[in-house]
Amino acid sequence: MADTHSVLVTGGAGFVGATLVRRLLGSGHAVRVIDNFSTGDPAHLAGVEVEVVKGDIRDADALAGALTGMDSVIHLAAAGSVIGSISDPADNFSVNAFGTFNVLNAARNSAAQRVVIASTGGALIGDAIPPVDESCVPKPISPYGASKLAGEGYAHAFAKAYGLRTVAIRFGNVYGPWSGRKRGAVNTFFKAIHSGEPMVIYGDGSASRDYVYVDDIASALELALTRDVAGGSVFHAASGVETTVTGLADLCRAAAGAPGHPVEYRPARAGEVGRNFASYDLARDVLGYAPTVGTGTGIPLTWEWLQREVYAASQ
């Protein structure tokens, strides 16, 4: 395959998509976006020379049209909330499992040769002694994790049955610019600081995650698009660093200049993994991936972006 591609990015007006689309265009790829704007925002791509198609990945006709002339797909569109998947597992299945099948099937019936799908590490593997890696046995404990495992299963099957070059990138907990609509600990903590409300921690604060800056995730996705890897491959795009919820709260308070901001502890929530961080050794060895932005830099950058683009705009 050529070094540059014509790429359909599903969910390209979302958080990760806003960074990825800019990166792909900067590398010389031709890009088209399909998004139903349920969580994405057309404003995320304002000023970007990219074709944007409004459509839902569950609509086979919309996908077929969007894939015309494309040789690759990066599939980001998803229902991304663990807690949301527990309250509405049917919708989560519809978007993540059926939606991913639809993307793969549409690619099979088009000229597309490669499909890179966004997956997840912790939620898919479930409770396991970290660091987790690609050899860990998946045991999801939420419908969200199960839906992502189903997507990976179909991606592997389509690689073996139809020769489609599929690559799954398992994200850590992504944060960074363009995340104004994202639900997650970083945004929730910063919103509490901005509004003067207590930061809420579910559990005793010892739960941990692997926080990855969005630029590093975009790098992993582009590498999965361009490197010569076998269909059905799976890689973790992670930081390799374990950060507890209490540690993250302290990082957010420090970034906002509010080290004494109050914290409120509440009971742990069902479906959420206890400890999690991942090894990215395989992605480093095969793709050449390496994270470049640690939380000490990325958390302050995210606070600055939220202040400038979200909080100032709402006042």
Tens digit of each residue's pLDDT (9 = 90 or more) over 56-102: 999 999 999 999 999 999 999 999 999 999 999 999 999 999 999 99
Bridge partners, 234 (sequence order): 168
Q: Give the span between the Cα atoms of 247 and 251, in whole angstroms.
A: 6
Residue found under tokens 């359909």: 8
Q: Does the pLDDT of residue 2 top 70, yes or no?
A: no
Q: Does the pLDDT of residue 1 top 70, yes or no?
A: no
Q: What angle do CA 285, 184, 276 make, to 5 degrees?
A: 45
Side-chain-side CA neighbours of residue 275 (13 Å): 9
State percent of the chain over pLDDT 90. Answer: 95
Q: Give the span between the Cα atoms of 170 and 217, in whole angstroms.
A: 9
Active site annotation includes 175: no
What mean pLDDT, rounded, does the chain reach?
96
Residue among 144, 175, 213, 280 flagged as catalytic: 144
* pLDDT band (50, 70, 90) for residue 315: low
Tens digit of each residue's pLDDT (9 = 90 or more) over 10-26: 999 999 999 999 999 99
Q: Does the pLDDT of residue 53 top 80, yes or no?
A: yes
Map out the domains of the chain as residue ranges.
Answer: 6-173+213-239, 185-208+242-278+294-311
Tens digit of each residue's pLDDT (9 = 90 or more) over 177-233: 999 988 889 999 999 999 999 999 999 999 999 999 999 999 999 999 999 999 999
Average pLDDT over residues 112-139: 95
pLDDT of residue 94: 98
Side-chain-side CA neighbours of residue 142 (13 Å): 28
Q: Does the pLDDT of residue 285 top 50, yes or no?
A: yes
Q: Give the span between the Cα atoms of 257 and 251, in whole angstroms.
A: 10
Tens digit of each residue's pLDDT (9 = 90 or more) over 135-156: 999 999 999 999 999 999 999 9
How far out from the chain centre does Cα 43 lie? Answer: 19
Q: At what angle do helices 185-195 and 295-306 cross, to 10 degrees?
A: 50
For domain 6-173+213-239, the CATH architecture is 3-Layer(aba) Sandwich (3.40)
Domain 185-208+242-278+294-311 coded CATH 3.40.50.150: no
Average pLDDT over residues 102-117: 97
Average pLDDT over residues 154-159: 98
